Structure 1
Amino acid sequence: MRRERVADDIYVFTSELYAQVTAGLVVTSAGAILIDTLVFPEEAKAIRQFVEQRLNTKVRYVINTHYHADHTYGTCFFPEAIVVSSALCYEYLKTRGQVGLERTKQRTSALQEVTLRLPTLVFESGGMEIRLGEKTLELRPSPGHSDDLITVHIREDRIIFASDTVMPVPYFVDGRYDDLVRSLENLRGGGYENVVQGHGEIILRGEVEQKLEEDLQYLRCIREHVEHAIHQPDPQAYLDTIDIEKCGKSRIPLNGEVQKLHEANLKALLNHYQAMQKA
């Protein structure tokens, strides 16, 4: 696991075991707030050890940005923390999350210790604020990657943990294309010092607006290709010729996994358009 310090009291942890997924730590005089928890027990435990032994403090809150396993499985290793999420994230964890964990344990021995810990402090639409010590965290709905996703903005530092709203390639298979476009547009002009992606490298201040525009351009590109594909004799065969680089993205990030995400995006959007044609 890689640890980076992005401000005097803000850290980013990047998994070396699964898809470069990230978690964040905000340290205050009154304790710490953990934003997502990674997936494998050994990395979640390493975060806790760092907090308690190196920083000599405790995690007071854990924020689940959305219900996906790679962001929530480590929550159970912080049993004394208040777990915060949207109400929809709570419902998804209680239903989809529990079923998914049971299936995953059957094929992944490294996750046998994991138990599902449900949020204990939830909010409806509109977001909420958490004030701890000298830090204010603004939790804002940001659907698209998934319907329940939220971002976390540290007001005093102008650092935003964008979760999977911002990734090396936008990904909406478990959410909605139009929602993701709106959520990315809502991030523009935010004046952020850093944007922490849900996976991959941190986006620095001078790169943020360009990154957001590139992501929106990618989404426009795949939409255009899908709209063309539905008029072809074999839409999927046409889309199979559209690799990620034809839509302006590199295939290198996340050890090449972005190409698979791209292919899944195209298939999901094609299915959506075909369903609308039949309706």
Structure 2
Amino acid sequence: MKITDRVYCRIGEQGTSNIGWILGDEYCTVVDTAMTPEETRQDLQAVGETTDKDIRFLINTHYHPDHTFGNMHFSEIIGHSFCYEKLKEMTPFYMEDAKNAQNKERFQEFFIKLPTLTFKERVTIHAEPDIEIIHQGGHTPGSAVVYIPEEKVLFSGDLLFAGYHPYMGDADINQWITALHALLSLEFKAIIPGHGEVCDKEEIKRHITYLQAFLDTMRDLKKKYSKETLLEKPYLLDLPQLGNEERIRRNIDAQYHKI
């Protein structure tokens, strides 16, 4: 999907992860990968249909597999230092999961490739247009966004799940809300979320409302119900009807003792 003359994205089917790419004057930069090497190869073909420029950088917005399992196809990878450390820590577990996956043929010759360049707070690729990579945290401790001021486009990574329940397995929800408020101060016309359709600042506001409601409701319900009860009755949280009730259960399981 063409967002501007220089920015493109591929929206994942049924809420799977999105990827994007930015066409610079001299080279191309890709944002995130698909869940498997094969899907990433297909994405690279799509990139090649829009430019004859070489890909110089891949940016990982965070370490989760559905954004990094195609890293093996790239030579230079930029990620937050936490992304590097956590992906390194999880490599034995992820390799075992890939080995035993039901669709393991999609992981032939698969290996985990770590970021080759890391940063702490922010880094800018001077590529005409400039690409700003900004640490925000929230969804994971190392979550970052990719901002192209000249194009007025933001890649939010998994700080946004447009139209879906967000995944909170690694989340610091208070920091997530703080991060979303920070994004509202940026000037842009389009957001490519980590999951879901291209959106705008209204989606950020919806996420803030959702996350705050989750926090407040969980604090209330913890006074009355055990985690086991809430896992059996996730409807007690009275969250928006977005499908995938199992995601709500996973979030309850991850966040019950953090809130």
- Does the TM-score normalized on the shorter chain lie above 0.5? yes
Residue 112 to residue 224, structure 1, CA distance change in 2 (3 Å) = same
RMSD in angstroms over aligned alpha carbons?
2.1
Q: 2:122 aligns with which of 127, 145, 156?
A: 127
Structure 2 equivalent of residue 29 of structure 1: 25
1:175 alignment partner, SS class: coil
- Cα distance in structure 2, aligned partners of 1:166 and 1:233: 29
- Cα distance in structure 2, aligned partners of 1:117 and 1:12: 22
Structure 2 equivalent of residue 7 of structure 1: 4
Structure 2 equivalent of residue 190 of structure 1: 186
Residue 245 to residue 194, structure 1, CA distance change in 2 (3 Å) = farther
1:139 alignment partner, SS class: strand
1:272 alignment partner, SS class: coil
CA deviations 1:188-239 (Å, max 9, x no partner) are 13232111110111104xxx1x322221111222222222222215454256
1:201 partner amino acid:
E
2:124 alignment partner, SS class: strand
Instruction: Give the superposition deviation at 1:28.
Output: 1.6
Structure 2 equivalent of residue 277 of structure 1: none
Give matches, 1:128-277, under 5 Å.
128-132=123-127, 134-167=128-161, 168-204=164-200, 208=201, 210-232=202-224, 234=226, 236-238=228-230, 240-243=232-235, 246-247=238-239, 249-251=240-242, 256-257=243-244, 259-273=245-259
Over the matched positions of the two proteins, sequence identity in percent amounts to: 24
How many residue pairs match? The answer is: 255
Instruction: Give the superposition deviation at 1:106.
Output: 1.8
Structure 1 equivalent of residue 88 of structure 2: 94
Give matches, 1:61-100, under 5 Å.
61-78=57-74, 81-100=75-94
2:33 alignment partner, SS class: coil
1:6 partner amino acid:
I
1:87 partner amino acid:
S
- Cα distance in structure 2, aligned partners of 1:244 and 1:151: 33
**TM-score, scaled relative to structure 1:** 0.84
CA contact (8 A) 2:6 2:151 kept: no
- Cα distance in structure 2, aligned partners of 1:136 and 1:233: 50
Instruction: Give the superposition deviation at 1:269.
Output: 2.5
User: Looking at both structures, which has the greater relative contact order when contacts are Cα pairs under 8 Å and sequence separation is at least 6?
Assistant: 2
- Cα distance in structure 2, aligned partners of 1:164 and 1:62: 16
- Cα distance in structure 2, aligned partners of 1:63 and 1:7: 19
Instruction: Give the superposition deviation at 1:7.
Output: 0.7
Structure 2 equivalent of residue 276 of structure 1: none
1:212 partner amino acid:
I
2:83 alignment partner, SS class: helix
1:272 partner amino acid:
K
Shifted more, 147-156 versus 188-197: the winner is 188-197
- Cα distance in structure 1, aligned partners of 2:221 and 2:236: 16
2:30 alignment partner, SS class: strand
Structure 1 portions without partners, runs of 5+: 274-279
